[in-house]
Amino acid sequence: MITKQLEYIIDKYKITKTNNIIYGTNIPMPNLILPTPWKTYIKFDESERYFFYFDEFGITIYPLEGDTCATIEWNKIKEFKVSHISILGKMTIKTEDNTYKFQLNRMVIGCHFIKTNTKYLEYNNYFYKRK
């Protein structure tokens, strides 16, 4: 499923460098906490799935649902951080106006490109060259 969605994004946006793409989601935040005498219920925002494309100019975010994409240029980014925990990672992007947090999947069963692309991007520091 993810591979077909990636092929669709590559065709639609005419992407030529496909080893710069990884898969992830937003980090859903709790929007309701309801304590009861027996249990505490927590409701989270909806999870959204994305492909992230990294290059020398910035990060382009392609949502899997919808027909839009957004690019955050490196010169607009004040802080960029990626941390890894086992098969998951967290990416934080801080700009002048906002902070964006995403969860990166470092491995998805049946999608060998994610593991390969993640290693490639880690080796190239996600093309982040901030001083």
pLDDT, tens digit, 9 for 90 and up, residues 13-59: 888 888 899 988 887 666 777 788 888 777 767 778 899 999 999 99
Residues of the chain with pLDDT > 90: what percent? Answer: 32
Q: What kind and span of H or E run contains 92?
A: strand 88-95
Residue 86 pLDDT > 80: no
Q: What is the pLDDT of residue 51?
A: 92
The CATH architecture assigned to 2-119 reads Roll (2.30)
Q: What is the pLDDT of residue 88?
A: 82
Radius of gyration (C-alpha) of the chain in whole angstroms: 16
**DSSP labels, 10-77:** HHHHT---GGGEEEEEE-PPEEEEEE-SS-EEEEEPPP-EEEEEE-SSEEEEEESSSS--EEEEGGGE
Residue 79 pLDDT > 80: yes
The arithmetic mean of pLDDT across residues 59-77, rounded, is 90
- Domain spans, the chain: 2-119
Half-sphere exposure of 78 (CA within 13 A, CB side): 7
Q: How confident is the model at residue 96 (pLDDT cuts 50, 70, 90)?
A: very high
Q: What is the pLDDT of residue 52?
A: 94
Structure tokens at 78: 């004040």
Helix axes 2-13, 112-123, angle to 10 degrees: 60
Q: What is the pLDDT of residue 28?
A: 65
The region that residue 123 occupies, defined by phi over 0 for left and psi between -120 and 50 for alpha, beta otherwise, is: alpha
- The single-letter code of the amino acid at 57 is F
Q: Are 69 and 63 in contact (CB under 8 A)?
A: yes
Residue 76 pLDDT > 90: yes
